[in-house]
């Protein structure tokens, strides 16, 4: 644990054995632990060893303890996304925030192909302290949000698309080039990083 951020385990490139060892070390100390990008098969096998743990297949989030369902106090984070294909990133951010003790709410399927869907949420969105905005394809949602709302915005490109937009590079570059004011960006598919960036702001707000 550094600077009040809990250690988070990068699950994608670790074998089942290594992950199990690391998680058992946390458990032995009586600590909760979060692993990200755990592939489905590996996650299911971990549940055998850690039967009380939480694993969500869509995002690959694994936690030793069940997420707390009660509304968290303090500044709230909104997570917006263009479509249901972005759910894996949205959920990674959502469960990470939950793990960190931050309140968060998801606003799915409000991409700018139907701008009225976003407009209908603007009032509700004004009450959130930080906005995480996820989008694939041409990644235009953060620009639209940035033109409508004044809060800190963390944009997350999703690797959703095909042809030139396969892999998320176009969404990433469009977000970095946004003509909206003051949008900052994290790595493609990095819902975890967006949650951590939001946490830095939430901490500043409650200091």
Ligand X SMILES: Nc1ncnc2c1ncn2[C@@H]1O[C@H](COP(=O)(O)O)[C@@H](O)[C@H]1O
For residue 133, list its beta bridge partners: 80, 155
- Pick out residues in 76-135 that bind a copy of itself (CB under 8 A): 82-85, 87, 111-115, 129-130
Among residue numbers 34 through 53, which ones bind ligand X (CB under 6 A)?
36-37
Region binding a copy of itself by CB under 8 A among candidate stretches 23-31, 43-51, 64-72, 144-152: 144-152
| Contact between 174 and 140 (Cβ < 8 Å) | yes
- List binders of ligand X among 56-85 (CB under 6 A): 83-85
Torsion of CA 50, 56, 8, 22, to 10 degrees: 20
Q: Does 181 bind ligand X (CB under 6 A)?
A: yes
- Cβ(84)–Cβ(119) below 8 Å: no
HEC letters along 24-81: HHHHHCCCCCEEECCCHHHHHHHHHHCCCCEEECCCCEEECCCCCCCCCCCCEEEEEE
84 versus 127: smaller Cβ distance to ligand X: 84
| Sequence-distant (≥ 6) Cβ neighbours of residue 94 within 8 angstroms | 59, 79, 104, 106, 191, 195
- Interaction between residue 150 and ligand X (CB under 6 A): no
- Binders of ligand X among residues 110 to 129 (CB under 6 A) are 113
Q: Is 83 in the site for Mg ion (CB under 5 A)?
A: yes
Q: Which two tokens stand for residue 84?
A: 């249901």
**Do 134 and 191 touch, CB atoms closer than 8 A?**
yes
Choices 24-32, 42-50, 118-126, 186-194; region in contact with ligand X by CB under 6 A: 186-194
Interface with ligand X, residue 136, by CB under 6 A: no
Residue 197 in the binding site for a copy of itself (CB under 8 A)? yes
The CB-of-89 to Mg ion minimum distance in angstroms stands at 10
Residue with token string 């089942």 = 16
Residue 134 binds which entry of a copy of itself, ligand X, Mg ion, none, CB below 5-8 Å type-dependent = none
Residues 136-155 that bind Mg ion (CB under 5 A): 136-137
Q: Where do contacts with Mg ion occur on this chain (CB under 5 A)?
A: 82-83, 135-137
């Amino acid at each position: 644990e550094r600077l009040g951020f809990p250690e988070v385990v990068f699950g994608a490139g670790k074998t089942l054995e290594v992950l199990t060892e690391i998680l058992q070390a946390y458990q032995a100390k009586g600590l909760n632990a979060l692993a990200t990008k755990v592939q489905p098969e590996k996650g299911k096998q971990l549940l055998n060893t850690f039967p009380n743990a939480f694993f969500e297949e869509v995002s690959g989030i694994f936690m030793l303890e069940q997420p707390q369902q009660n509304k968290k106090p303090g500044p709230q984070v909104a997570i917006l996304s263009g479509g249901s294909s972005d759910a894996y990133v949205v959920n990674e951010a959502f469960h990470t925030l939950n793990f960190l003790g931050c309140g968060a709410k998801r606003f799915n399927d409000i991409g700018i192909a139907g701008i009225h869907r976003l407009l209908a949420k603007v009032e509700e969105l004004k009450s959130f302290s930080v906005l995480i905005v996820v989008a694939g394809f041409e990644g235009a949602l953060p620009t639209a949000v940035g033109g409508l709302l004044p809060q800190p915005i963390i944009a997350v490109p999703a690797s959703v698309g095909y042809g030139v937009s396969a892999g998320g590079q176009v969404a990433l570059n469009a977000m970095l080039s946004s003509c909206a004011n003051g949008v900052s960006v994290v790595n493609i598919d990095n819902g975890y990083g967006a949650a951590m960036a939001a946490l830095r702001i939430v901490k500043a707000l409650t200091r």
